[in-house]
A and B are shown apart, each in its own frame.
Chain A
Amino acid sequence: MRRQALGITSLIAAAALVLTACSPAAPEAETKTLKVVYQKTDSFTALDTLFQAAKQEFEAANQGVTVALEPIQANDDDYGTKLALALRSPSTAPDIFYEDTFKVRSDVDAGYLLKLDSHLEGWKDWDTFDAGAKAAGLGDDGGTYAVPLGTDTRAIWYNKKVLAAAGVSVPWEPRTWQDILDTARKIKASDASVVPFNMYAGKASGEGTVMQSFYELLYGTESELYDADAKKWVVGAPGFTDSLAFLKTLYDEKLAVSPAEALDANVWKKVFGEWLPQGKMGATVEGSYSPSFWQKGGSYEWAEYGQDMGVTAFPTQNGQAPGGVSMSGGWTLAVGAETKNPDLAFEFLATALNQKNSLAFNIASSQIAVREDVAADAGYQAANPFVKDVSELVAVTHYRPATADYPRISAAVQEATEAVITGAKSPEQAAADYDTAVKGIVGEAKTVAR
């Protein structure tokens, strides 16, 4: 009896399982839903604030439309991965999402992004966007696929107190790499417990290693990473070896953090949260967004940062023109190619990026504005003491080659820096291994020797 009952129960259970699996999805609700995917971390909530505001504004103006905000809590690398996985299938792809500028081209290639040209034509705000920033949203076919939220630059951030204590006159304006080493050695000699000059290295810091360290070096030499005209990757570059050698000097002479600290993915938190505010670090290369961590409401509030910190351009190798180097990235908003409501999705994007929302976001996350009406706003200019300095660096800035091969090349560069600072390879050897790696990634035909 009992066994029979058991059998019947499992039969029913099995049937129920099969039936639920086969039953069609619930009919679409009458209200339309827009799914918005973006990044949110405990130290980066500005974007969440932006979308919350845009959601309210948009839902009030469009009855019957629900905006579903789906923040992803992850660092840049993991966010990119999760987003790409979601985009792979139309059933999980978001309608609007936060997209890194250097991924735009490869994601357009993958067919993930909707071409926005026809929508942009009817959007009068589009004219207020900076022409250089607009280029970040271009696909290989010349169409625009993404709208920039803001951009950034990179510079040397130094603690005036630490430099002054070591007898360095401030404002500090290094003209060559040698100036950096001289000053760093001076700081080291005056107080051995201070980290004189930090530059990221190794794979743990990911894009931070290249954007906030290696490329400032490389683009200040006569060499470059990628020949954009020929569409070829540069190998055998003497500037590449020189840049690695500079990092080696910094780490070997203990002018930067220890290699073990550099290979901890959380090292940047210590730079912003502990070493600079506590006067334990002389200088570091970091982005224009640095004040967002220190200002009121940031994750490492530091009331005196405006007086204590100074900012200066990263110098070129021997002081050659244009006298400074910076790297720019930045993020955009894009519309999913498979969205069911392209018009509504674009309308939401336009709401999120209107003057009011852009202004609030650019201030909260210390981004460099890409809308002229935001850049001209008094509130934006007074947002932090460094807005003017870091905005001027746009004149000497560089962008990463945004090809589909780039992430792998970037990883090869990071690997080279890691091998050099850990002492596993000499700069020459690491550079040669990088060349081999690049040829393996893109094929010998797409490289050019310099």
Chain B
Amino acid sequence: MAVSLGRDRSGHRRRRPGLRRQARLLPVLPAVVLLLVFLAGPVLWAFHASFTNAALTGRNARSPGWIGLDNYARLLSDPVLPLSLGLTVLFVGGSAILGQNLLGLTLAVLMRRARRTVAAAVGTAVVAAWVLPEIVAAFAAYAYFSRDGTLNQMLGGLGIGQTDWLYSFPMVAILLANIWRGTAFSMLVYRAALNDIPGEVTEAALMDGAGGWQRLAFITIPMIRGSIATNLMLITLQTLAVFTLIWVMTAGGPANASTTLPVLAYLEAFKFGDIGYGTAVASVLILIGVVFGAAYVRLLREGKP
């Protein structure tokens, strides 16, 4: 607290506003330009392409035409869309908001109490999954859940029958894989947040006779509310965009049972060469991301006194 106040005081020097202030923005300019060109650019291009019949091959590849809202009309009547939307919500809700978030918080809380060596060992194991490049993690998960994979071998060792996880329960396998891969991020965020809770607050609560659960519910969680909102926003947006993991594990199958929106967009744009329609799907995905983002930003604002 004290530190941030000090920074405030020195930051408000108002001796020579105007030119100097604007000059100070100059170093930011390249970053802003880069953001505009490489982030806003593709988003705008995607919106634009979603109103055309642009294609990867065929006549429409040479001269794509403006077709207005046709792609969106087609999307709304596509029987795969409700399924895909549902699966995306299930994936984000199950693996990010519930899975990674809660597991990360639990681990962070437990690690404060655990012995140093145990905490270090658990931390390393969890972070290891996160350090892996996505494609490697995806293959590891595929190898784990596949028919002759590690999971089935362990279950076989216990005398439990073999299950084709990727075929019979594709979403379960993908949810677990994404929780495995992403929990480390939430854990790290929450560990940092928990370390920022002043000891005296917890002590005072302890003196007033608050139990473990009460301290968690009334002291810890309200105090790290900002971190929770930030974490939720980041992992939601990250999970919304997960493609490689699903593509490698199930490629959206069987019978579309794991086709989330990014997979659907890829299939339409690249497998079927219908770039216009694929970008329409991607645009819907962007809109969902914006809605989530706006909700969390509100939550963040309310969190601040």
Interface residues of A (CB under 8 A from B): 7, 10-11, 13-14, 17-18, 77, 81, 84-85, 88, 103, 106-107, 109-112, 202-204, 258-261, 263-265, 404, 407-408, 411, 415, 418-419, 422, 424
* B26, A110: Cβ atoms closer than 8 Å: no
Chain B 217-231 near chain A by CB (<8 Å), digits 1 or 0: 000000000000000
Q: Which residues of B contact A84 (CB under 8 A)?
A: 56-57, 61, 273
Q: Which residues of B contact A258 (CB under 8 A)?
A: 164
Q: Which residues of B contact A11 (CB under 8 A)?
A: 26-27
* B27, A10: Cβ atoms closer than 8 Å: yes
Q: Which residues of B contact A85 (CB under 8 A)?
A: 56
| Interface window among B99-107, B235-243, B249-257, B293-301 | B249-257
In the complex, which residue of chain A has the Cβ closest to the Cβ of B27? A10
Give the size of the chain B interface in residues (CB under 8 angstroms): 29
* A418, B253: Cβ atoms closer than 8 Å: yes
* B29, A81: Cβ atoms closer than 8 Å: no
Q: Which residues of B contact A103 (CB under 8 A)?
A: 57
Complex A-B, nearest 4 residue pairs according to Cβ-Cβ distance, in ascending order: A404-B58, A260-B167, A110-B61, A10-B27
Complex alpha-carbon distance, A17 and B60, angstroms: 36
* A109, B58: Cβ atoms closer than 8 Å: yes
* B273, A407: Cβ atoms closer than 8 Å: yes
Q: Which residues of A contact B26 (CB under 8 A)?
A: 7, 10-11, 14
Chain B 146-165 near chain A by CB (<8 Å), digits 1 or 0: 11000000000000000010
Candidate in A13, A258, A264, A415 with the most chain B CB atoms within 10 angstroms: A264
Q: Which residues of B contact A411 (CB under 8 A)?
A: 271-272
Instruction: State whether A81 and B56 are in contact (beta carbons under 8 Å apart), knowing that A109-B62, A411-B271 are contacts in the complex.
Output: yes
A76 → B minimal CB distance (Å)? 12
Chain B 25-39 near chain A by CB (<8 Å), digits 1 or 0: 011011000000000
* A110, B58: Cβ atoms closer than 8 Å: yes
Q: Among A17, A110, A261, which residue has its beta carbon within 8 angstroms of that of B62?
A: A110
Q: Which residues of A contact B57 (CB under 8 A)?
A: 84, 103, 106-107, 109-110, 112, 404
Q: Which residues of B contact A17 (CB under 8 A)?
A: 30
Mark out the residues of chain B between 62 and 104 whose CB falls within 8 Å of any chain A CB in the assembled complex.
62
* B255, A419: Cβ atoms closer than 8 Å: yes
In the complex, which residue of chain B has the Cβ closest to the Cβ of A404? B58
9 contacts between A and B (CB under 8 A): A14-B27, A14-B29, A18-B30, A110-B59, A260-B164, A260-B167, A260-B168, A418-B254, A422-B254
Tell me whether B292 is interfacial, beta carbon within 8 Å.
Answer: no
Q: Which residues of A contact B30 (CB under 8 A)?
A: 10, 13-14, 17-18
Q: Among B27, B251, B273, which residue has its beta carbon within 8 angstroms of that of A265?
A: B251
Complex alpha-carbon distance, A263 and B27, angstroms: 53
B244 → A minimal CB distance (Å)? 13
Mark out the residues of chain B between 268 and 305 whose CB falls within 8 Å of any chain A CB in the assembled complex.
270-274
Complex alpha-carbon distance, A111 and B63, angstroms: 10
B58 → A minimal CB distance (Å)? 3
In the complex, which residue of chain A has the Cβ closest to the Cβ of B269? A81
Instruction: State whether A259 and B27 are in contact (beta carbons under 8 Å apart), knowing that A106-B57, A110-B59 are contacts in the complex.
Output: no
* A263, B271: Cβ atoms closer than 8 Å: no
Please give 10 more A-B residue pairs, beta carbons under 8 A apart, in addition to A107-B57, A109-B59, A418-B254. Answer: A14-B29, A18-B30, A111-B62, A203-B251, A264-B147, A404-B59, A408-B272, A408-B274, A418-B253, A422-B255
Q: Which residues of A contact B251 (CB under 8 A)?
A: 203-204, 265
A202 → B minimal CB distance (Å)? 7
A82 → B minimal CB distance (Å)? 9
Instruction: State whether A263 and B254 are in contact (beta carbons under 8 Å apart), knowing that A81-B56, A109-B57, A110-B58 are contacts in the complex.
Output: yes
In the complex, which residue of chain A has the Cβ closest to the Cβ of B267? A411
A260 → B minimal CB distance (Å)? 4
Q: Which residues of A contact B273 (CB under 8 A)?
A: 84, 407
Q: Which residues of B contact A418 (CB under 8 A)?
A: 253-255
B241 → A minimal CB distance (Å)? 19
A88 → B minimal CB distance (Å)? 7
B253 → A minimal CB distance (Å)? 6
